[in-house]
Structure 1
């Protein structure tokens, strides 16, 4: 298994064809085809399914593709770190950020990072963890600022704690169930929730089953973005469960109402989520430090807005 073969495999996946991969790599189609055939021969496994409309991957190919992306991304990190040691700071940093961090601390952290590492190409991916996890898994994303869902593999991901935060069942202001006092009063409502592909049963157990409530899971709409979640709550009268802090900050403040239920939900933990055993680049480490500095500054502040934020947050760093 050679580096140019892995590059051909990843480029073919991203382009959807060998011709597209050849353009991306600046090689001939014959060279890319040869690299892929040599890879299949060396592994003694079929990796690609070739068709006139393009290529797809066998199950063996999908597994190898995930590892190939990880290898190439780690090599990019190594290159960036070596360039830093040579005195040239360059490279790309891709970060997944949970929406409530985007609405509170992110802008200041980015400004601080830009003063410390102005040559890094920063890519911010606002996404709930169900969206970020696949990108962490294949190495496309350096790290995520978020919270692992119940059922997420602790063997696959690691999480460095930053904050504990409260969570609440919420409805729009003026909802017919705004005075509900138990999760059992909400079982005839539609719900919009975010969870990983394999995480629905764990989340349903956490929100309902352990409290003796049985929700028809056909009532659940899975949202892949906070904008979708917000629209379903405000325009479709759905219930949701999310960080309480969202009810304190624009654009949600005054529009989402946390319900005071008899059932309690333990504080959740937000952290720096990485693929276990991966190595963060120097740029990633610097960004994490910038974020920590900003959060600590707000935690020590006596401003009314900051005091309101930290009524629902507990600093862990």
Structure 2
């Protein structure tokens, strides 16, 4: 890929390590890996390379040439509802821009926002102090629901206490060590569930919920979108669960590209368009959120 021999690459690495007076790679019988110092330098290098690419895109835009790549992560319910129409609008305006999509889980989106490999995250606001690491434009406010398969033994339970014995399946946010489900029970004066498992995929979550007695936590728009189709249901617990702010998350301290600005505008136009909520399913989704734009 670099059009250079292995010996030349080794020499370049050794020269870099000598200049920095740090070991950047560890050579083992099983291969070469980055050291902790190497990983730190790589994060800065990716930011530099990404910023150079954005500078080229800005110059192309000034010439009237809209090219380049735009990387987007989208939370599941937005991906299933507003994202397709937003992409269609964007493609009509900037057909030469290549799009790259990721699942909008915090454990996936936040590291990529930091290293510059992701331009936009359409998802929930990061918790606590982590939120200050990013710029955030709110789009929706929604609440959460406990979900399980239809016919679950506790499908009609009215109290979180009834669900302490169940296996819980929740998205892992590595930066807060997945504490959200524990805090939810603590806030209502309950002990932690006996068993909490973590995931990084909605597809895995739905499959496990359908075929086991596991329970999970979904935002209400995802319940409205998925539950009838996937034979899932919301358990009607009386406790008020957390609210969740969903919006456009970007890395601070750098100008947003013309493509990123265009996509955000296309998304907001889609959300505001009455035609986007013309179906009964979309009306149910919209009834489960407060629109903040």
TM-score under structure 1 length normalisation: 0.86
Q: How does 1:64-79 map to 2 (within 5 A)?
A: 64-79=41-56
Matched residues, number: 293
Q: How does 1:112-131 map to 2 (within 5 A)?
A: 112-131=89-108
Deviation for aligned residue 1:173: 1.5
Partner of 1:245: 221
Partner of 2:152: 175
Change (3 A) 1:203 1:161: same
Does the CA-based 8 Å contact 2:139-2:248 persist in structure 1?
A: yes
Partners of 2:237 and 2:223 lie apart in 1 by 16
Unaligned runs of 5+ in 2: none
Partner of 1:108: 85
Does the CA-based 8 Å contact 1:193-1:223 persist in structure 2?
A: yes
Q: How does 1:13-32 map to 2 (within 5 A)?
A: 24-32=1-9
Deviation for aligned residue 1:229: 0.9
Change (3 A) 1:253 1:206: farther
Does the CA-based 8 Å contact 1:183-1:263 persist in structure 2?
A: yes
Relative contact order: is structure 1 or structure 2 higher (C-alpha 8 Å, sep ≥ 6)? 2
Give the counterpart of 1:57 among 34, 41, 44: 34
- Most deviating of 249-258 and 54-63: 249-258
Partners of 1:100 and 1:302 lie apart in 2 by 17
Partners of 1:206 and 1:263 lie apart in 2 by 13
Deviation for aligned residue 1:93: 0.9
Q: Deviations over 1:72-93 (max 9, x none)?
A: 1111111111111122211011
What secondary structure sits across from 2:174 in the alignment? coil
Partners of 1:282 and 1:27 lie apart in 2 by 35
Q: How does 1:1-317 map to 2 (within 5 A)?
A: 24-151=1-128, 153-200=130-177, 202-216=179-193, 219-250=195-226, 252-253=228-229, 255-298=231-274, 301=277, 304-317=280-293
TM-score under structure 2 length normalisation: 0.92
What secondary structure sits across from 1:89 in the alignment? coil
- Most deviating of 28-37 and 247-256: 247-256
- Coordinate RMSD, CA, aligned: 2.1
Unaligned runs of 5+ in 1: 1-23
Does the CA-based 8 Å contact 2:147-2:232 persist in structure 1?
A: yes
Partner of 1:4: none
Moved over 6 A (4+): none
